Amino acid sequence: MTNYETMMNRDSSSTAVQWSWWLLMMLAASVLFSMYGSLFDIYEIGIVIFTAAGMALLGQNWPGFRIHIVAVTALSLIAIKLYGADLAAPETSFFLNYILASQSAIMWMSALFVMATFAYFIGLFSRSEFTEKVGSAMTWLATTLGMVGLMVRWRESYLIGADVGHIPVSNLYEVFILFAVITALIYLFYERRYQTRALGGFVLLVISAAVAFQLWYTFGRNAADIQPLVPALQSYWMKIHVPANFVGYGAFSMAAMIGSAYLLTSWARKVKPDGLMSTVMPDLIVMEDLIYKSIALGFAFFTVATVLGALWAAEAWGGYWSWDPKETWALIVWLNYAAWLHMRMIKGWHGRPMAWWAVIGLFVTLFAFLGVNMFLGGLHSYGEL
């Protein structure tokens, strides 16, 4: 952890804090092992170690993330304690019923994301830094509650039945929460890196849209019910394949939203150089940079996710590649962004065409994420609409 590494973070944490954070993560992993080690298989041990290391790395210079993790852990533990062994506990527990039961936490998450979107935009256009900060705070809170919702839901699934219990990344309802939470975290990371909140409203717009879709889906189809896993999904691969995919989806969505902010700003600066939009938005170069960063992040994780998918497919379906619609669309998304990266890197394309391409990329991604399940079917069974 040389200064060189940490310099990139404007206010890097002190070495003492970093060390304590690493220690805390190691401690958390050891506690997990001592409690449940006998139930884990080798892959699950690997997953726990990997997760702890990942969180340690992310948190070492990012105080917000540290608080987030501690808060998620504390709230989830409280909820689990309150639940005990009784799935009906929310009927008698105020806290569970109104805040911590997974559905309540997720409702709070939804409301907070929408409010944060407004706060960011109002703050941006009224040039009120305070309001923008409120937006950030709400986004953090929403992310935390969303994560708590997922954790508690995980527990709830085990309360339904030991054989029903599973990590909540197995159907459309659950992955939508995952999408919102991960996209928000990626955004918050860059918000701190680039010290600009001007893009918050734009990125949260896509999260709010996801939340709106999810609400419709929840009420329209009773989608929030916890369903047991079909045999094909009962695999440790799911625990890593799905989250990796959603880092990809989240990063690509962020790139697209910043792309649209770029297009609006560059248009505004042309037609009305001293208008509100032109003056409140950050430099075009900054946005361009961010688009590239998110696409690179998305591409890297999407590569990992697709490879993991292939490994899983090799185990579950008897072939690492079957040209199943979902697989194929993952490839399409991947090829699309590979082309984007080359255009930028080698042909030196930049500016509006690349921003447009990033926006169009969202639709390709969206089809891979939702469209395939809605229109094409195939072996990916979760979330049929």
Partner 1 sequence: MSNAKASSNPFQLFRRRLVLLMGSMDLAITLLLALAVASVIGTLLQQNQPYADYVIKFGPFWFEVFEAAGLYDVYSALWFLIVLTLLVLSTTVCVTRNAPSMIKDMWNLRTHVREKSLRVMHHNTQWPVKLPSEEVALALEKGLTEEGFRVRRTVKDEGLLLSAMRGGLNRLGYLFTHIAIIVICIGGLLDSNLRVKFAEWQGDLKVETRDLATNDVPKESRLPVGNQAFRGSIQIPEGRTANVVFLALRDGYLVQELPFALKVEDFRIEHYATGQPKSFETDLILYDNDLPEPLKTTIAVNHPLIHKGYSIYQSSFADGGSNLTMKAWPLDDRSEQGAISFEGKVFEKRQMNLGGQSLRLEINSFRPFNINPDPTEEEPERLRNFGPSFGFKLRTATGEAKEYVNYMAPVMREGRAFYLSGVRSSPAEEFGYLYIPIDRQGSLKTFTRFLQRLHDKSAVEEVSRQMMEETLSQMSDTSDTRMKVSLQKTLTTLVTMYLKGGFTEVSEYIETSLPENQREKLGPAYLSMLREMLARLYFMDKEQTKPVTEAELLFLQDAADTIGSLSRYGSPVYLSLRDFEHVQASGLQIARTPGKSTVYLGCALLIAGVFILFYLPQRRFWALVKQKNGESEIILAGMSNRNPRDFDMVFNYIATKLKRAVGNSDSQ
List contacts with partner 1 (CB under 8 A): 2-4, 7-8, 161, 163-164, 227-228, 230-232, 234-235, 285-286, 289, 292-293, 296-297, 299-300, 303-304, 307, 310-311, 314-321, 323, 325, 328-329, 331-332, 335-336, 338-339, 342-343, 346-347, 372, 376
Closer residue to ligand HEM, CB minimum distance, 277 or 341: 341
Closer residue to ligand HEM, CB minimum distance, 262 or 340: 340
Task: Kindly state whether residue 341 participates in binding ligand HEM, applying the rule CB under 6 A.
Answer: yes
CB–CB of 50/243 below 8 Å? no
What's 369's DSSP letter? I
Closer residue to ligand HEM, CB minimum distance, 272 or 342: 342
Instruction: List the one residue out of 34, 28, 69 whose CA is nearest residue 52.
Output: 28
| CB contact set of 299 (below 8 Å; sequence gap of 6+) | 248, 334, 337, 338, 341
Which of partner 1, ligand HEM, none lies near 329, with the C-beta cut-off 5 to 8 A by kind? partner 1
Closer residue to ligand HEM, CB minimum distance, 21 or 302: 302
Minimum distance between the CB of residue 364 and partner 1, rounded to whole angstroms? 8
Residue 123 host element (H or E):
helix 102-125
Minimum distance between the CB of residue 112 and partner 1, rounded to whole angstroms? 32
Which of ligand HEM, partner 1, none lies near 314, with the C-beta cut-off 5 to 8 A by kind? partner 1
Closer residue to partner 1, CB minimum distance, 62 or 299: 299
d(CA 168, CA 154): 6
Terminal C-alpha separation, the chain: 48
Minimum distance between the CB of residue 328 and partner 1, rounded to whole angstroms? 5
Minimum distance between the CB of residue 43 and partner 1, rounded to whole angstroms? 12
Look at the block and give the residue holding tokens 């390709």.
364
d(CA 261, CA 267): 10
Site stretch for ligand HEM (CB under 6 A), options 95-103, 260-268, 314-322, 335-343: 335-343
Closer residue to partner 1, CB minimum distance, 144 or 293: 293
Quote the tokens at residue 120: 């960011």
Closer residue to partner 1, CB minimum distance, 3 or 34: 3
Question: For residue 324, which phi and psi values (nearest 5 degrees)?
Answer: -65, 145
Using DSSP's 3-state secondary structure scheme, residue 41 falls into coil
Burial code (b: 16+ CB inside 10 Å, e: under 16) for 145-178 equals: bbbbbbbbbbbbbbbeeeeebbbbbbbbbbbbbb
Which of ligand HEM, partner 1, none lies near 372, with the C-beta cut-off 5 to 8 A by kind? partner 1
Other beta carbons within 10 angstroms of residue 63's beta carbon come to: 13
Which of partner 1, ligand HEM, none lies near 317, with the C-beta cut-off 5 to 8 A by kind? partner 1
- CA-CA-CA-CA dihedral for 248, 108, 168, 69, to nearest 10: 70
The residue from 30, 74, 342, 379 that contacts ligand HEM (CB under 6 A) is 342
Minimum distance between the CB of residue 9 and partner 1, rounded to whole angstroms? 10
Residue ranges binding ligand HEM (CB under 6 A): 338, 341-342, 345-346
